[in-house]
Structure 1
Amino acid sequence: MTEHLYNKYVKHMTLEEKIAQLLQLAAPFYDEPGDESEITGPMEELGIEYDTKRAVGSVLGIAGAEKMMAVQKEHLAGSRLGIPLLFMADIVHGFKTIFPIPLAVGCSWDPELAEQSAEIAARESAVSGLHVTFAPMVDLVRDARWGRVMESTGEDPYLNAVFAKAFVQGFQGDNLKEDVSRVAACVKHFAAYGLAEGGREYNTVDLSERQLREYYLPAYKAAVDAGVEMVMTSFNTVNGIPATGNRSLMRGLLRDEWGFDGVVISDWAAIKEIIAHGAAEDEKEAAFKAIYSGVDIDMMTTSYVNHLPELVAEGLVDEALIDEAVLRILVLKEKLGLFENPMRGADPELERQIVYSLEHRKVSQRLAEKSSVLLKNDGVLPLQAGQRVALIGPFAASGDILGWWSWQGSQETAVQLGESMQKVSGAPGNVVISEGCSIDTITEAGLAEAVKAAAAAEIIVLALGEASEMSGEGGSRSDIRLPEAQLELVREMKKLGKPVVAVLFNGRPLDLHGVYDIADAVLEAWFPGSEGGAALADILYGKVNPSGRLSMSFPYSVGQIPVYYNAYNTGRPKPVEHTDNRYISQYIDIPNEPLLPFGFGLSYTTFAYEGFSLSSDRMSADRPLEARVTVTNTGSMAGTETVQLYIRDMSGETVRPVKELKDFRQVQLLPGESRDVVFQIEESQLRYYHSDLTVSSDPGMFTVYVGASSRDTQSATFRLV
């Protein structure tokens, strides 16, 4: 394929045309008038000439079949060699049908449903003219202050890798050329962006290579192994070098070691930001470092366009490096079938039929149901039809339930909680709605209205949370409690002496003090997407039994952060029993443990684990073990239990975490029904990175844990020989 594309296109291109293929421009550049005699707006600001624009390789942020087709047609009319544009966008958790945020999807522990959501997002994107989505984001996250935790699937490398594979398969399918309803995926942000110091957006990352490989790289590797077509660089440093100019990371690890031969794209203006990092003196040096490192596409700077020609002329950059980058871009266009069909997939009539269709919205609702996590329930849920309910809070009748990265979604058409509860409750009058306060402001009049509504009710449901812009990119927060106005609302409602249920809409784990300790039940809804209100109403009224399990720990306090389940034990671990010993690894004012651990979630039914056993107390490379446990639904309602398997290596060449997730199963059980859940444990699951960065297992003792969360487990031991 590359030889054909080289002979047909690359060898006939001028150096300037080649470099223009490496440039990505945003949508506003294609709102310019066609008159080339006048350069205005974005083109003038960035210093883009019309000759460059005619040869540019890709566009960011254009959506809509008619718009895309018009831009592609105009571009091809002015393209000397007839090379079509690539159209890309951030389709992170849905196009117009918005699914729950990825952190919520992680809480579903359902990779098949996640894959289906990506397939639907691809279908809506492709028919609207897009070819590439900047997703999935697979950064491992341990700091809830960072706004972009909403875009990850959580704190565990194994679970993240499972979802990375599922998302890539959902977006791309098996054959991009034949299946025009799919789009190419772009895994991001390479690498370790989720470790930004202090949880502050765009901040420095500093970690050992062993930590990088063991915890932060597995999900990217899973995406690469699944055939992801594109990788996006991260804004942060890795080993003191900005990722976008990091040759050892991009060429050494990604291309040479992992064998990735797809396209590498910078994040927005990240090549130019090498200067601000202090790793380049000017744009010329930044361009040199990026192309030398193997970055193919420069998103929204003119670093390549303005400086690669002189770098080639001075002999500092071999033109062959530029040819390689151009060929990788052309190969992707060929895989997508754009040379034969430049309008690939775009269809205005079909777009009107399938985008935001009922079929797609039903899947969004199902995923919202599976992603919601019941955090507390002192017997007040589910609600009963006919019960008089006061629904109070800033999210009672709000469409701001889509979350960040839902740029094509509509808050106006999002299904609200209040209207859905009124439908499910039996009669609209059973649910009285009062805002009570806004996100961060409470007034005497608003509170008085809420008190009046609550006084006439049997139970109070509080719809609380963060506005969508309080998380997402640029949404770092130092204080991750709910705003004080909402905490005051909770306190005032509790004074009425009625049962209180809190439903939380948010993009990160929160410090829940002032809510969790006061409310009788707490349901974590996250930002649940287009059908969120319908999903939550069905859960609140027991039409759906909640089954979500946390994919990221909820801290007891922001002072614990980063807090995560798979930590090291330390040389002076805090014992389970009380001790007056000061000289152990502990806080003297709060627990070490998070408020709610990884894997945690309640149900309207109960499950019992019995008969946990291993098939042997000895294991070898050629003789795996079986772990078996019987799970019984001991309650009165059908439910889904997520059975989790963790392992601890009791003695390693380097210290090992207290637990590591290795597998999980979801079982659906009727009341009284039992099922044997069996896991096979193989030697390969016991391997880890040693101090010399080799990967192997060590003979010795291991503990296996099986249970309903990382905290609630039964254990048994075996020896690897």
Structure 2
Amino acid sequence: MFPYQDKELTIRERVNDLVSRMTIQEKIGQVNQHLYGWQSYYKNSSGIKLTDKFKEHVDWGQGLGALYGLFRADPWSKKDYDNGIRANESAHLSNMIQSYVINKSRLGIPTLIVEEMPHGHQALDSVTYPTNIGKGNTFNPELIKKSAKLQAEELRLKGGNLALVSSLDLLKDPRWGRSEETFGESPYLTETYTKAIIDGFQGDLIGDSDFLDNKVSQDSRKHVGVVIKHLIGQGEALGGHNSGTVPMGKREFLEVYGPLISSLKKAAGVMAAYNDIDGVPCHANRYLLNDLLRKKNEFQGIVMADGTALDRLMDLYGNYSDSVFAALNAGVDLSLWDDVYMHISDAIEQYPQLLLKLNNSVKRVLSIKFLLGLFDDPYIDENDTNMEEVIHKSNDLNLKISSESMTLVKNTILPLKKGSSLAVIGPHVKNIYHWLGDYTAPQLENQYDSLIDSLKNYTSNIMYAKGSNIREITEDDKLINDAVEVSNKADAVVLTMGGSSMRNFNMNFLNNGAVSEESILKNTDTGENVDVASLSLGGNQIDLLRALKKTRKPIIVVMIQGRPYDITEVMRLADAVLIAWYPGQKGPRAISDILFGKINPSGKLPISYPRNTEQLPVYYYQRRVLKNENYFDETGCPLFEFGYGLSYGSFDYKNLEVSYKNNRVLVSVDIKNTSSVSAKETVLLFSSFFGTDVLPQRRRLMSYKKILLEPGQTKNIGFEIKDDRLLYMNKSMKWDKPRRVELSIKGLSKSITL
């Protein structure tokens, strides 16, 4: 037995011994994640088989660092229920992969099986949750943590090891197609959600101390790791362009993104972002990946490249060797589908000092494999029967999250009375893929609730008409006329409006999985690489709404969307507006429960909702400058402030108290439910700085709490803020205290002197 096989040694000792025995080619194999996982197998009448392409790649690397997307199913992978891997086949395939890799590796090194889980596992038979932008409306990190824990167990039972989860991006420009992957615009909300995701997925896998000094835990195979993406600033890209440039100064960068980077300390991995920051690509940014992430914030995990991002460095550096040098020197440990890291050997010949960088990256990849117990127990139990229970619990939780992810922004009619006759109209109604967002697997009918079937829980009198397409404009009025006809027969109209991130199997994709521009569907307007110049609603949607208004029937608009749209006319014409985002498989049921009052809406907007494209940007923490906020031809304020959202209840805020002692700020406020229904309320605490030597942000979200109040009930809600969070970066680029801080909650405010 070699020392690296000795369970009594620490992870550091085992890793160091193993690396000392490896050839350069074996090391190169460990930092490569070149293969698309779905190309590793095929199915025929005799079962699941491994492909020659997979075997050849393992032979090239004399092992396999990681395998991305083994279970992925979607239009890009061309895997579906005919040729893809079902949940009950996943553990078997995982074991086949591990067995082959271990037996072909001279030193018996297992691989990491890496899976996309942006809003559920992107695989057959999996639960699809609301996309992140909807989850941001919940202001409920406990739900996010519970969801992460269940997703981790689902992935573990299938044999997966690392989950890729979007969490770090901020929604600064909603023209960006990946807006749906953000939790909104708030750095603090995103920070708390990121911590909840890491805690939920990993539990106590990584603590505050250096895990390299520990032995492999006996419970290690009960865990999976999470790779948080994207590091960092993708939502800042100029003009809302995907992978665009981010012209951001260091002060803004550290004030906004510094705390987010700190939240990554316990993650097993992070994925670098496509964009540059002030001209330096994130994948070549040693200050970001080494100085900030590792040294300052003591991050212990791996840095993974985004798909083909290292090949994009070729445009800057012109050749493989210099691109390898830039990425390895910056601290990118593991590639993703690119060719650049296939040329590490040539780069080391040109730059011998790179061997030390390669060794460091190999050690980090291997340390995660040890940490997850893959060396001691690489296989998963194929006879485990817990998956059904996990999916059942996930579906129940999915409904709760979906119910809290929707925000009511106008209401003069809800809740509806049971038995009301309804005209259900809209381009989303009968296509579940419009409801789910990008990065979505094929769906079976028993996996989701339809809107019409969900509404039948409350009324049997339902009529349907499509009314409009999402983007495609029709010249004749047949769709609209049909909708008007059924609306005239109904008590009320439920109208879906918005957009779609739907993909289909006829589309073409880039080599990083983003849809190619020439194959974007006529009715797709959101998702990766689908950026827009205008936030206007597409198709004949507004014409349809105007026609329905003439029927004089009450209109409830349900916005199905991955980004905000210009809904100023929707707000004027509709009697109620519910922003449901992409609400997942349980979204239709949650909408029905809200419309008929079974669920009291509690969502709050995690963005400053713009009136239109022209007034962008409108995010709430812009700097307080001496300028006219309004334009000559348009107001500068958003349609809805950050945190806006209506309820069937009502609340009264009183008695704000603020004190400062022992380096802590204590804030409390009384909140009363003044309505006759139980209701949840999200309490938001903001700070504003005064007496600074640079222009401060107008305000910052410092904390939040979501509470349940019974009719007539009053609660005193308290917050405690450490004063080291009340800092700004001064003219000398040092952290400094403002002279005065104003704390505010719902229009009440008090100031303290620091």
Counterpart Cα distance in 2 of 1:77 and 1:337: 17
Counterpart Cα distance in 2 of 1:639 and 1:19: 57
Please tell me whether residue 257 in structure 1 is matched to residue 296 in structure 2.
Answer: yes
Cross-structure match for 2:640 = 596
Contact 1:172 1:185 in 2 (8 A): yes
1:658/1:7 Cα in 2 relative to 1: closer, same or farther (>3 Å)?
closer
1:7/1:633 Cα in 2 relative to 1: closer, same or farther (>3 Å)?
closer
Counterpart Cα distance in 1 of 2:719 and 2:51: 63
List aligned pairs for 1:23-422, cutoff 5 A: 23-24=32-33, 25-31=35-41, 51-63=59-71, 64-95=90-121, 96-175=126-205, 178=219, 180-224=221-265, 227-276=266-315, 278=316, 280-306=317-343, 308-344=344-380, 347=382, 349-350=384-385, 353-354=388-389, 357-378=391-412, 380-400=413-433, 401-407=435-441, 410=444, 413-422=447-456
1:203 CA displacement? 0.8
Counterpart Cα distance in 1 of 2:29 and 2:716: 59
Counterpart Cα distance in 2 of 1:348 and 1:123: 15
- SS of the aligned residue for 1:614 comes to strand
Please tell me whether residue 433 in structure 1 is matched to residue 464 in structure 2.
Answer: yes
Counterpart Cα distance in 1 of 2:665 and 2:616: 36
Counterpart Cα distance in 2 of 1:286 and 1:489: 53
Contact 2:234 2:242 in 1 (8 A): no
Gaps of 5+ in 2: 1-9, 45-49, 72-89, 207-216, 503-524
Contact 2:154 2:387 in 1 (8 A): no
Contact 1:688 1:695 in 2 (8 A): yes
Query: Any idea what the Cα deviations from partners look like across 1:157-199, whole Å, max 9, x if unmatched?
Result: 1111111100111111113851645421112111212111100
Gaps of 5+ in 1: 573-583, 708-712
Counterpart Cα distance in 1 of 2:351 and 2:105: 29
1:348 CA displacement? 5.6
Contact 1:464 1:504 in 2 (8 A): yes
Counterpart Cα distance in 1 of 2:387 and 2:139: 32
Counterpart Cα distance in 2 of 1:335 and 1:22: 17
Which letter does structure 2 place at the counterpart of 1:693? M
Contact 2:58 2:101 in 1 (8 A): no
Contact 1:97 1:409 in 2 (8 A): no
Counterpart Cα distance in 1 of 2:607 and 2:425: 27
Query: Any idea what the Cα deviations from partners look like across 1:542-594, whole Å, max 9, x if unmatched?
Result: 0000000011121011112221112222113xxxxxxxxxxx34211111111
Cross-structure match for 2:76 = none
User: What count of residue pairs does the alignment treat as equivalent?
Assistant: 681
1:386 CA displacement? 1.1
Normalising to structure 1: TM-score of the pair?
Answer: 0.90
Please tell me whether residue 13 in structure 1 is matched to residue 13 in structure 2.
Answer: no
- Picking from 657, 663, 670, the partner of 2:697 is 657
Tell me whether 308-317 or 463-472 shows the greater mean CA deviation: 308-317
Contact 2:41 2:51 in 1 (8 A): no
Cross-structure match for 2:512 = none
1:446 CA displacement? 2.5
1:43 CA displacement? 7.5
List aligned pairs for 1:639-658, cutoff 5 A: 639-658=679-698
Contact 1:122 1:181 in 2 (8 A): no
Counterpart Cα distance in 2 of 1:281 and 1:43: 29
Contact 1:93 1:121 in 2 (8 A): no
Q: Cα RMSD between the aligned structures? A: 2.3
Counterpart Cα distance in 1 of 2:172 and 2:58: 45
Contact 1:147 1:472 in 2 (8 A): yes
Please tell me whether residue 691 in structure 1 is matched to residue 746 in structure 2.
Answer: no
1:205/1:498 Cα in 2 relative to 1: closer, same or farther (>3 Å)?
same
Please tell me whether residue 475 in structure 1 is matched to residue 516 in structure 2.
Answer: no
Please tell me whether residue 533 in structure 1 is matched to residue 562 in structure 2.
Answer: no
1:412/1:552 Cα in 2 relative to 1: closer, same or farther (>3 Å)?
farther
Please tell me whether residue 612 in structure 1 is matched to residue 656 in structure 2.
Answer: yes
Contact 1:168 1:185 in 2 (8 A): yes
Contact 1:288 1:317 in 2 (8 A): no
- SS of the aligned residue for 1:72 comes to helix
Tell me whether 50-59 or 201-210 shows the greater mean CA deviation: 50-59
Normalising to structure 2: TM-score of the pair?
Answer: 0.86
Percent of pairs identical after alignment? Answer: 30
Please tell me whether residue 702 in structure 1 is matched to residue 746 in structure 2.
Answer: no
Cross-structure match for 2:751 = 717
1:513/1:609 Cα in 2 relative to 1: closer, same or farther (>3 Å)?
same
Contact 2:656 2:667 in 1 (8 A): yes
Counterpart Cα distance in 2 of 1:203 and 1:412: 40
1:76 CA displacement? 2.1
Contact 2:426 2:497 in 1 (8 A): yes
Which letter does structure 2 place at the counterpart of 1:10? V
Contact 1:92 1:135 in 2 (8 A): yes
Cross-structure match for 1:576 = none
1:623/1:260 Cα in 2 relative to 1: closer, same or farther (>3 Å)?
closer
1:32 CA displacement? 7.4
1:600 CA displacement? 0.6
Counterpart Cα distance in 1 of 2:496 and 2:465: 10
Tell me whether 6-15 or 136-145 shows the greater mean CA deviation: 6-15
Which letter does structure 2 place at the counterpart of 1:413? Q
1:304 CA displacement? 2.0
